[in-house]
Amino acid sequence: MTWELRIRHETGYRYKGEVHSSYNEARVTPLSTDRQVAMETSVKVTPATPTYRYWDYWGTLVDAFDVHEPHTDLSVVGTSVVETSPTLEAFTSASWSDLASPAVRDRFAEYLAPTNYVPALPDAGPAFDARRSPVDAVEAASGWVHDLLAYGKGTTDVTTTAADALRIGSGVCQDFAHLTLAILRGMGIPCRYVSGYLHPSTEGEVGVATTGEGHAWVDAWTGDWWGFDPTHLQPVNERHVAVGRGRDYADVSPLRGVYHGAPAENLTVSVEITRLV
């Protein structure tokens, strides 16, 4: 059964004094993919300013905007209505020899290489076993991360790497995703970081607005892309709404920019999700 979800994501900055100008990128607009359709989307900025939209290198929609009037507060509100589908079957057409072929390794070189957030971790994760299919390996690696890391808000932050999370032994969805990516890339499985939203209830009562969550999971390529959520140890389903895809969090952060003026004093982020159908 498909779900129809309305999402409101608000980010607010308050500064200690006037900011004279700023240049920003917001990645808060859901994608249309094989398992979801973005039916309505908008991004509103206060102070009011036009936005322009483009696709970035990784296939994420970016709403860019400049503010050129003095301001002490900045608000970015992304709203959308998205239809989502149940879990899709994992793609099983690629064998280990396929993944090791020069053509595949060249095609997905950027999703196999280490990054600052996802360094090479040769001693982490389940031992490679050629008798296990690539799909089974994705699930096994996710299960290992799920069992190893305790979910704990405040134990890590947006700068935490997969190596840090492994050392700390806890983290949030971003850390679960980064550590899973490190293990899969070590096995030779192309994989990418996905950011988005998660409806907090498996039932999803219709018409009830709930406090939602920004969320992260992984896409693995085993013949085609398919999503798995190591934080909840389940395939991506109708509760998940994808917004950004890239090598790691740095490619998909919801709001980034530069500005001239007083330092930031306070940051607030809220996500509200309502199941409509």
The rounded average pLDDT for each run of 10 residues, N- to C-terminus, in the chain (277 residues) is 97 97 97 97 97 97 97 98 94 96 98 98 80 93 96 96 97 98 96 97 94 94 98 97 98 96 95 98
| Predicted local confidence at residue 91, as pLDDT | 94
Please indicate, yes or no, whether residues 131 and 195 belong to a single structural domain of this protein.
Answer: yes
In a domain, 178, yes or no: yes
Output phi, psi for 14, to 5 deg.
-120, 135
Looking at residue 1, what is its pLDDT? 87
- Between CA 28 and CA 35 the distance in angstroms is 18
Predicted pLDDT at 213: 82
Residues 238 and 165 in one domain: yes
The reply to whether 243 falls in a domain is yes
Domain that holds residue 31: 3-85+253-275
Residue 91 lies in a domain: no
Same domain, 120 and 55: no
Q: What is the CATH number of the domain that holds 138?
A: 3.10.620.30
The count of domains in the chain is: 2
pLDDT at 125: 81
Q: Is 106 in the same domain as 234?
A: yes
Please indicate, yes or no, if residue 59 is contained in any of the structural domains: yes
Specify whether 231 is located in the same domain as 103. Answer: yes
Q: Does the residue 270 lie in any domain? A: yes
Same domain, 77 and 112: no
Residues 54 and 170 in one domain: no
